[in-house]
Amino acid sequence: MLIENEQELSWLVELMGIPTASGRERGVVEWIRRWVSARPEFFVESDEAGNLVVGFAGARGGRWLYITAHLDHPAFVVERVVGPGTLMATFRGGVLDSYFQGARVEVFGGADWSRGAVARGVVTERVKKEPFAECLIELEGEGSPAERVCVGDVARWALPAARIEGDLFHGDACDDLSAVAAALSVMERLRGREGVSHVRLLFTRAEEVGFIGAIAACKLGTIEKGSRVIALENSRSFEDSPIGGGPIVRVGDRISVFSAALTGAVAKVAEKLSGKSALVWQRKLMAGGACEASVFQAYGHEATCVCLPLGNYHNMENLARVQAGEISAARIGPELISVGDYRGMIALLEACATELEEVEPLVSRMEKLYVEKGFVLKE
């Protein structure tokens, strides 16, 4: 049997090999179902939108703690076979125009991608349309490679297999499959423990096209009222949020600030853990993007986020220099995270399962200060 850390890395590598796109997450869903089926302590169920909930079998009541991650990553979905060597596919996710022309892709066959890579090609054109941009893909190979492709197949960037070099993990879709692997690793660590049955996982669909699965989960009542939510993300790294600097307790994103009480509670756990272990962690706003914590917060749930600092965000190499106009050759590459950050995220969430406390409301703290020291105003 693999030791704990090796298991957690092996799941990370395995998940990176599964093509996924908004609305076409079935391959990852089936992997998770197999994972749960091997562990009778857990159950897995789906809501009407196809989001997955994983929890402890037989757990009843209480105030649930949901750890969430999304199942999709920016990718292509085949919409039409134009000719023997040409496909029209929509791109579901956010990648700058300059990264498409001439980019190499591979097409995967079958609803669960069991047929593997069935064709390879190059993006020759991208046209902005709603709701998704349309791309022409010219296929390579002898004969009529399009005959091996079906409408609904997923195509993703043609990249090397996931690998670890030193502390860096290189993967197709760290955003957000590394968070999926981390969440499952937490549940594995909690097996057989007392006092953790209130922890559940929520895996959402179609985040990359506007948080659609998370919105559905809120509208459907998938998350019970009164639950606390820690959303997991991979967020674009900047100089003040470096890869290798530890998992990030995220205060907010570009559209909202998260629950101050819950963010403070998670930060308090991180502080305690760093004092008795080698955990290194960060606390940042991370306003370069948005995450599902904003959705859960908007629908009335107490929510915050823990994220991994991410390199080559959405597979865009040298993104800052491309945006600044310093280089014109925009290239697709694997996303990058730190193995240490990934392990730190798992350790932090494991501690949150047992040590997350109710944080005193900020106004109560202010009132206490006023009572204790307000006398100075009368001097």
In this predicted structure, what is the pLDDT of residue 209?
98
Structure tokens belonging to residue 105:
């892709």
- Can you tell me the mean pLDDT for 331-348? 98
Q: Is the pLDDT of residue 127 over 90?
A: yes
Both tokens of 96, joined, read 């700058």
Q: What is the pTM of this model?
A: 0.94
Condensed to tens digits (0 to 9), the pLDDT of residues 1-35 reads 344 589 999 999 999 999 999 999 999 999 999 99
How confident is the model at residue 269, as a pLDDT?
Answer: 97
Which architecture does CATH list for 4-73+162-362? 3-Layer(aba) Sandwich (3.40)
* Lookup: tokens for 45: 């169920």
Exposed/middle/buried for residue 200 (C-beta within 10 Å: 0-12, 13-18, 19+): buried
Select from 220, 235, 198 the least CA-distant residue to 335.
235
Q: Residue 54 above 70 pLDDT?
A: yes
| Of the options 2.40.30, 1.20.272, 1.25.40, 2.30.30, the CATH number for the domain spanning 75-157 | 2.40.30
Residues of the chain with CATH 3.40.630.10: 4-73+162-362
Q: pLDDT tens digits for 202-257?
A: 999 999 999 999 999 999 999 999 999 999 999 999 999 999 999 999 999 999 99
114 pLDDT band (50/70/90 cuts)?
A: low
Both tokens assigned to 198: 């209130």
Ranges of CATH 2.40.30 domains, the chain: 75-157
pLDDT at 294 exceeding the cut of 70: yes
* Mean pLDDT rounded to a whole number for the chain: 94
